[in-house]
């Protein structure tokens, strides 16, 4: 009977207790500032010079450009005989009547504008997944500052509407005001294509870095007298002394293929070697 009574008794249930609450998260801690970089100490014979704001900006832009664009450089040689002759004829007139020197850079810039009309991608840019082309040409010119410790790229807006004299005047004006630090912010923005001219120091080749977000940059170099093979009046090959200029085009291979760059340089060379005074 005892066993059956125990079997019939209801089971004893332990009283339920609530689960303990989750501990509150600790309050967020303020981020600690990154430790300052230790100051570099000069080694024997060295001097440390802090980078200026301009130099830091140039360094950042150059690095960003190389990280952005697939840089490739092509080069071509140009017989500048016709340009040299025309410049010699115009130089005295331009300096006397207009106060400007028709430099070789002015001739190259004018011919570049005419060539860019037929190569809109070289005057364009990649914007996201779109290709931007334009019906205007804003030429940038790399200008070294007066102290030699930096450069700036003033922009000659709507260069497609300027003849040789207009470009010569424009380049002279913006270059001088760049050296005098008198440019307005608008005059260093909006470039669509850039020309750099290290040839003034006698250099004959270089690989310039593209000014973002442009697609290409043209390098112009020293005019040097060199032996050159030409044809005489009888159609025979002879060696003559000719003033030769090297031109380089550094381009973004994401947009501009080597064949397109080659055709651009070929056409630019043709315009310079057969300079048409009436057209330019």
Contacts by residues 196-202 (CB-CB < 8 Å, ≥ 24 positions apart): 196/141, 196/142, 196/220, 197/105, 197/141, 197/142, 199/104, 199/223, 199/245, 199/246
Query: Tens digit of pLDDT for each residue in 101-142?
Result: 999 999 999 999 999 999 999 999 999 999 999 999 999 999
Q: Which of 34-38, 71-75, 162-166, 240-244 has the lowest mean pLDDT?
A: 34-38
H-helix or E-strand spanning residue 262: helix 258-273
Closest CA to 271 of 55, 116, 154, 144: 116
d(CA 197, CA 248): 11
Q: What letter would DSSP give residue 254?
A: T
Longest Cα–Cα distance of the chain, Å, equals 142
Model pLDDT, residue 25: 63
Q: What letter would DSSP give residue 185?
A: G
- Tell how far CA 176 is from the center of its chain: 21
- Mean of pLDDT values over 214-231: 97
Model pLDDT, residue 42: 86
Coil, strand or helix: which one is 10?
Answer: coil
Asked whether 236 and 259 are in contact (CB, 8 A), the reply is no
d(CA 110, CA 104): 10
Q: What letter would DSSP give residue 172?
A: H
**What pTM value is reported for the model?**
0.83
In this structure, the number of other CB atoms found within 10 A of the CB of residue 16 comes to 6
Model pLDDT, residue 33: 66
- Mean of pLDDT values over 37-55: 86
Closest CA to 280 of 123, 120, 118, 113: 113
Percent of the chain with pLDDT over 70: 86
Query: Tens digit of pLDDT for each residue in 225-234?
Result: 999 999 999 9
Q: Which residues, 6 or more positions from 81, have their beta carbon under 8 angstroms from its beta carbon?
A: 242, 243, 273
Cite the active site residues: 253, 257
pLDDT at 60 over 60: yes
Model pLDDT, residue 1: 43
Query: Tens digit of pLDDT for each residue in 143-196?
Result: 998 888 889 999 999 999 999 999 999 999 999 999 998 999 999 999 999 999
Alpha helices, DSSP H, located in 69-123: 81-97, 104-116
- Residue 8 has φ and ψ, to the nearest 5°, of -80, -15
The structure tokens listed for 144 are 């070294």
Arithmetic mean of pLDDT over the chain: 90
- pLDDT level of residue 40 (50, 70, 90 thresholds): confident
Model pLDDT, residue 148: 81
The structure tokens listed for 9 are 């008794």
Asked whether 238 and 197 are in contact (CB, 8 A), the reply is no
d(CA 164, CA 36): 54
Structural domains in the chain?
53-273 (3.30.559.10)
Model pLDDT, residue 41: 83
The owner of tokens 């140009």 is 78
């Amino acid at each position: 009977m005892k066993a059956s009574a125990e079997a019939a008794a209801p089971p004893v249930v332990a009283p339920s207790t609530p689960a303990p609450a989750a501990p509150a998260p600790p309050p967020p801690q303020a981020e600690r500032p990154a430790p300052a970089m230790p100051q570099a100490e000069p080694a024997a014979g060295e001097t440390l010079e802090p980078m200026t704001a301009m130099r830091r900006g140039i360094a950042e832009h150059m690095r960003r450009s190389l990280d952005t664009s697939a840089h490739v450089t092509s080069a071509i040689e140009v017989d500048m005989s016709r340009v040299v002759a025309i410049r010699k004829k115009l130089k005295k007139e331009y300096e006397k009547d207009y106060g400007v020197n028709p430099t070789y850079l002015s001739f190259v810039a004018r011919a570049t504008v005419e060539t860019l009309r037929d190569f809109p991608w070289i005057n364009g840019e990649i914007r996201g997944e779109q290709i931007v082309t334009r019906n205007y040409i804003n030429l940038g010119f790399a200008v070294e500052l007066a102290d030699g410790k930096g450069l700036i790229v003033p922009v000659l807006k709507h260069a497609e509407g300027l003849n040789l004299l207009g470009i010569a005047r424009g380049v002279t004006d913006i270059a001088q005001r760049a050296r005098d630090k008198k440019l307005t912010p608008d005059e260093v923005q909006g470039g669509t294509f850039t020309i750099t001219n290290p040839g003034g120091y006698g250099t004959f080749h270089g690989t310039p870095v593209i000014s973002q977000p442009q697609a290409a940059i043209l390098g112009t170099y020293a005019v040097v007298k060199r032996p050159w093979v030409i044809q005489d009046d009888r159609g025979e090959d002879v060696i003559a002394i000719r003033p030769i200029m090297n031109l380089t085009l550094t381009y973004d291979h994401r947009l501009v293929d080597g064949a397109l760059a080659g055709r651009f340089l070929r056409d630019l060379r043709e315009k310079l070697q057969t300079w048409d005074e009436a057209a330019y």
